[in-house]
Amino acid sequence: MIRYVALKVGRAVFVVWAAFTVTFVLLFVLPANPVDLLFDPTELNSIPPEVRAQVAENYGFNKPVLLQYADRLGHALIGDFGNSVQSGRPVIAAILDVLPSTLILASAALVLATLIAFAIALVATATRRPWLRNLVEALPSGAVSVPVFLSGILILQVFSFQLGWFPSFGDNGVQSLILPLITLAVPVAGPIAQLLVRSFATEFGAGYVTTSWAKGATRGRIIVHDVFRNAGLPALTIAGVTFGNLIAGSVITETVFARRGLGRMTQTAINTLDVPLVAGIVVLVAVTFALINLTVDLIYPVLDPRLRASLTAGVS
Amino acid sequence: MSEPLLSIKDLSIDYRTGRSHTPAVERTSLNIEPGEFVSLVGESGSGKTTLIHGALGLLPAEARIRSGSIAYSDVDVTGWNDRKMALIRGNYVGFIPQDPNTSLNPVKKIGPQVIEAVRLNHPKSRNFLEAALESLRTAGLADAGRVFHQYPHELSGGMKQRALIAIALAGQPKIIVADEPTSALDVTVQKRILDHLVSLRERLGIGILLVTHDLGVALERSDRILVMQHGVIVEQGPVEEILRDAKSEYTRRLLAAAPSRHAGRLLPTSRVRVTEPEAQAEVLTADGLTKTYRLRGRARLTALGNAGLTVRQGTTHAIVGESGAGKSTLASILAGFTTADAGTVRLGDTELTGLRRGQLREIRRDLQFVFQNPFTSLDPRFTVRRLIAEPLTAFGLPAGDRVSELLAAVALDDSYLDRLPGQLSGGQRQRVAIARALALNPRILVLDEAVSALDVSVQAQILQLLVDLQAELGLSYVFVTHDLGVVRLIADDVTVMKDGAVLETGPVADVFADPRHEYTRQLLDAIPGARVARV
């Protein structure tokens, strides 16, 4: 068991380290002169060489690459990613400012997406009417094929401008969270629902379900007591992987709904070539992603006794 | 006499395929009286499972009952929906499913699964826990308290099947329907489970309907037998009557095909053996083979411990044992698919162990393998022509007429050349697999459970084919099987294995007549139908 946990934690640490290293190579090693990236391209030619040398000195670009790498890695370990070029604030502080708002949006969207997916799978499994099952099973692929910017604008048009139920932008309270939440959750719910519909159907045909029928159980009871837990396990894995999509999706959602957040910050950082900020964001997203998948890996043995058994057998 | 517990009259069941309906069961009737043990025998596709699923209301959505009626003790349940059938299931009729390994919920402990069966059928009962423990004990699990707190994966196949029997008994039914309850289990376990079912019938006075493909099992245990073919019951009557005087041609064929009812080895149909096997040289010898698998962590599993055998030219050497005995590991080491940790394999004068890949590849011309499952060992996208030509092209030989020749050797004609495996029956597929193995003119075939996935009558044809080919081509076989009945039909020598070790080895006649090891005696005793055959 300890071995399993150590293995999974080790893998999470590796993912974060790899993300850091790749970012470092892309942003600081590959460009011919990383100093160029720090200035507005239109003003690049008008900058005197002394200033450039000064900047290179400040950022340590004149030191050997390996030393730079060790230096940055050392600082990153204590949460220091340098200062944002645009605002001059420490990167970590700038990110932590907007992070909660994105995390709330993404986590709530994940929960909503999972709920939608389970609802679709349950209805598709429980119904005896073929037309209803076909209709419900068609929903996931529909949800996947609508891009976020389109559904976002449609939802805005209907619920905000036409009906006036929710504010069209801003980030004040729960009211303003609802529309972006739905926009972000719907496309993510698609793949989870597709997986769940299939795994519910497979499990519903499994041998132990026949045993339950023979016990005298009713359809509803079988779905709730037998199928649900077995069929729900795969959703956990895909939910972990999907979280990455949610962060990516938040770039568009936060732009459409003009919300403060990591997504919008990333967009601005890339537009203004704020290299330290981009590097910080990439590493931070990697950390979140690794943490979520680590949690999923650690929850699995709790839910599946077979996995638990093979783990304890490994220790003895 | 009271009403029959289960009475099916003129039942017809169709499957919808596209727009048309394919009949699966045609005007079938059967009765089970209290305390009666009835067996329903048929090969795959005979409609026996459809019939009992119809009786239990467990038919899939694409099946429909066209006509006829199903009644439990005078209560007509034809056309009842799930909700109403739930009142009958468990309570009145218990069901034991086919595969114990998939029929228990893997994420729940055994106890709650049995309690659920009690609770659903006797909601007013005071003490669910005690009732569940009691039915585990009745099912033959002496250590019910421990099993109660275990998960299905912590139990052996036989114990899982007993837990399923406990679940079937928990509702205190009057009749139990068992669908091939032992076909996924080893013979010695199968014997114990069947013995137990018979004793339950005597102790509790319940009726039992056993569905099986194994006529030997049916003959040995039941009061009455129904034989089903193509959705129709072609024969029914008490066991003695069927043994003495079977009315239908099909039943007589099944009786003839049952391995346990043959006294000696099969003879080649027309040709005489090229040479007498007794004088033959050793063609394949293995000595001191050991194989250990490393499990997760530091645990080790000894799959094979110091095992060996000798195959004489032109003869069949059978390796027998139950699951986990190491017989498949041994076979795959002989064929060079797995490397042994220690020990030697010699093919003629060549030592196989330690050969490089390229040299091993040349050896494959002489030594070919036939796999257990003809449904997965043939590429579904290859035509028969391409499947059989594959070993030839792999060694850069011209295919030409050789493919037709090989097909003819396994008694298939050229019309099969362009078919896909999906268009062949199980027996035909295994013939193609054998033809493919013969393509390079090998001297030795290693057959790993090559007939276990087939119905008895098909199995008998394939065994006959193997015996004929051996006589014609002078082949040597290494024949891995769990079925001692088959050993008697085809083998000259036999090696009995258990837990990775060889218990005894010798000519079949000697080992069967005078087993030296207690385990061999148990195995022989557990062959279904053995007792009946001796009568």
Of the CA atoms within 13 Å of residue B397, those in its CB half-sphere come to: 15
Q: Which residues of A touch B61 (CB under 8 A)?
A: 130
Q: What is the CATH number of the domain that holds A219?
A: 1.10.3720.10
Best residue in A199, A204, A208, A236 for a mutation probing chain B (most B CBs within 10 Å): A208
Quick check: B99 contacting A, CB < 8 Å? Answer: yes
Round to whole Å and give the CA distance between B385 and B364: 21
Nearest Cα neighbor of A184 from A101, A126, A265 is: A101
- What does the pLDDT read at residue A314? 47
Return the percentage of chain B with pLDDT > 90, whole number.
24
Quick one: which H or E segment has residue B361?
helix B357-363
- What does the pLDDT read at residue A170? 66
- What does the pLDDT read at residue B389? 92
Mean pLDDT of B320-327: 85
Quick check: B102 contacting A, CB < 8 Å? Answer: yes
Q: Do both A127 and A267 map to the same domain?
A: yes
The phi, psi pair for A186, rounded to 5°, reads -60, -55
> Tokens for B229?
């073919």
- What does the pLDDT read at residue B387? 92
**Which of B91, B107, B154 is the closest to A304 by Cβ?**
B107
Is the ipTM value over 0.85, yes or no? no
Do B116 and A215 make contact, defined as CB atoms within 8 angstroms? Answer: yes
Quick check: B171 contacting A, CB < 8 Å? Answer: yes
Above 50 in pLDDT, residue A315? Answer: no
The reply to whether A282 falls in a domain is: no
Distance of residue B137 Cα from the nearest chain A Cα, in angstroms:
18
Domain boundaries, chain B: 1-92+175-257, 100-172, 283-366+444-534, 374-441
A252 C-beta neighbours (distance < 10 Å), count:
18
Do A215 and B90 make contact, defined as CB atoms within 8 angstroms? Answer: yes
- What does the pLDDT read at residue B272? 55
Mean pLDDT of B45-66: 87
Distance of residue B87 Cα from the nearest chain A Cα, in angstroms:
6
Q: Are B317 and B496 contacting, i.e. CB atoms less than 8 angstroms apart?
A: no
**Largest Cα span, chain A:** 86
A203 to chain B: closest CA residue: B105
The mean pLDDT of chain B is 86
Above 80 in pLDDT, residue A31? Answer: no
Of the CA atoms within 13 Å of residue B387, those in its CB half-sphere come to: 27
| Per-residue model confidence as pLDDT tens digits over A63-78 | 777 888 888 888 888 8
Band (A241; pLDDT cuts 50, 70, 90): confident
The reply to whether A278 falls in a domain is: no
Q: Do both A176 and A117 map to the same domain?
A: yes
* Pairing mode of beta strands B342-347, B282-294: antiparallel
Between A36-45, A201-210, B285-294, B414-423, the lowest mean confidence (pLDDT) is in: A36-45
Q: Do both A64 and A175 map to the same domain?
A: no
Do A305 and B296 make contact, defined as CB atoms within 8 angstroms? Answer: no
- What does the pLDDT read at residue B534? 44
Say if residue B291 is exposed, middle or buried (CB neighbours under 10 Å; 0-12, 13-18, 19+).
Answer: buried
Round to whole Å and give the CA distance between B413 and A68: 75
Nearest Cα neighbor of A39 from A20, A54, A24 is: A54
Quick check: B89 contacting A, CB < 8 Å? Answer: yes
- What does the pLDDT read at residue B531? 58
Instruction: Lay out the sheet containing B6-17: strands in order across.
Output: B20-32, B6-17, B63-72, B75-76
Do B86 and A216 make contact, defined as CB atoms within 8 angstroms? Answer: yes
Distance of residue B360 Cα from the nearest chain A Cα, in angstroms:
35
CATH code that applies to domain B1-92+175-257: 3.40.50.300
Return the percentage of chain A with pLDDT > 90, whole number.
9
Q: Do both A15 and A148 map to the same domain?
A: no
Question: Taking the CA atoms of chain A, what radius of gyration do you get in angstroms?
Answer: 24
Round to whole Å and give the CA distance between B288 and B286: 7
- What does the pLDDT read at residue B436? 93
Mean pLDDT of B314-337: 88
- What does the pLDDT read at residue B425? 82
- What does the pLDDT read at residue B335? 86
Above 50 in pLDDT, residue B228? Answer: yes
- What does the pLDDT read at residue B209? 94
| Per-residue model confidence as pLDDT tens digits over A137-190 | 888 888 777 777 787 788 888 887 887 777 776 666 777 788 888 888 888 888
Q: Do both A112 and A33 map to the same domain?
A: no
Decide which of B264 and B65 is more confident: B65
Q: Do both A224 and A267 map to the same domain?
A: yes
The mean pLDDT of chain A is 82
Q: Do both A121 and A37 map to the same domain?
A: no
Say if residue B3 is exposed, middle or buried (CB neighbours under 10 Å; 0-12, 13-18, 19+).
Answer: middle
Q: Do both A113 and A236 map to the same domain?
A: yes
Q: Is B356 helix (H, G, I), strand (E, B) or coil?
A: coil
The reply to whether A302 falls in a domain is: no
The reply to whether A219 falls in a domain is: yes
Q: Do both A102 and A234 map to the same domain?
A: yes
Round to whole Å and give the CA distance between B197 and B191: 10
> Tokens for A282?
């990439």
Q: To 5 degrees, how large is the angle CA B135–CA B141–CA B143?
A: 110
Round to whole Å and give the CA distance between B435 and B421: 14
B358 C-beta neighbours (distance < 10 Å), count:
7
Q: Which residues of B touch A316 (CB under 8 A)?
A: 297, 299
- What does the pLDDT read at residue B532? 59
Quick check: B181 contacting A, CB < 8 Å? Answer: no
The reply to whether A42 falls in a domain is: yes
Question: Taking the CA atoms of chain B, what radius of gyration do you get in angstroms?
Answer: 25
Q: Are A214 and B94 contacting, i.e. CB atoms less than 8 angstroms apart?
A: yes
A217 to chain B: closest CA residue: B86
Q: Are B264 and B490 contacting, i.e. CB atoms less than 8 angstroms apart?
A: no
The reply to whether A18 falls in a domain is: yes
Above 90 in pLDDT, residue A284? Answer: no
| Per-residue model confidence as pLDDT tens digits over B258-291 | 766 666 677 777 655 555 555 568 888 998 899 8
Distances from the Cα of B86 to the Cα of A127, A210, B312, angstroms: 18, 12, 60
Band (B535; pLDDT cuts 50, 70, 90): very low
B450 C-beta neighbours (distance < 10 Å), count:
29
| Per-residue model confidence as pLDDT tens digits over A173-182 | 777 788 888 8
Nearest Cα neighbor of B382 from B337, B425, B433, B427 is: B433
**Domain containing residue A154:** 98-271
B112 to chain A: closest CA residue: A225
| Per-residue model confidence as pLDDT tens digits over B121-151 | 888 877 888 889 988 988 888 888 889 999 9
Q: Which residues of B touch A304 (CB under 8 A)?
A: 106-107
Round to whole Å and give the CA distance between B307 and B290: 7
| Per-residue model confidence as pLDDT tens digits over B89-105 | 988 999 998 888 889 99
Which sign does the torsion angle of CA B414, B419, B424, B427 carry? positive
Q: Do both A149 and A109 map to the same domain?
A: yes
Q: Do both A25 and A156 map to the same domain?
A: no
Do B97 and A3 make contact, defined as CB atoms within 8 angstroms? Answer: no
**Which of B103, B107, B116 is the closest to A230 by Cβ?**
B107
Mean pLDDT of A261-289: 84
- What does the pLDDT read at residue B13? 92
Decide which of B504 and A81 is more confident: B504
Round to whole Å and give the CA distance between B200 and B208: 9
Best residue in A211, A227, A233 for a mutation probing chain B (most B CBs within 10 Å): A211
The yes-or-no answer to whether B1-92+175-257 and B283-366+444-534 have a common fold is yes
Quick check: B81 contacting A, CB < 8 Å? Answer: no
**Which of A210, A229, A309 is the closest to B154 by Cβ?**
A309
Nearest Cα neighbor of A229 from B391, B247, B106 is: B106
The reply to whether A289 falls in a domain is: no
Above 50 in pLDDT, residue B221? Answer: yes
Report how many domains make up chain A: 2
Q: Do both A54 and A141 map to the same domain?
A: no
In this structure, which topology does domain B283-366+444-534 adopt according to CATH?
Rossmann fold (3.40.50)
**Which of A3, A215, A313 is the closest to B299 by Cβ?**
A313
Do B164 and A219 make contact, defined as CB atoms within 8 angstroms? Answer: no
Q: Domain boundary residue among A10, A43, A77?
A: A77
Round to whole Å and give the CA distance between B435 and B442: 11
| Per-residue model confidence as pLDDT tens digits over B353-363 | 777 888 888 88
Q: Is B447 helix (H, G, I), strand (E, B) or coil?
A: strand
The reply to whether A203 falls in a domain is: yes
B83 to chain A: closest CA residue: A218
Best residue in B105, B160, B183 for a mutation probing chain A (most A CBs within 10 Å): B105
**Which of B83, B105, B106 is the closest to A218 by Cβ?**
B83
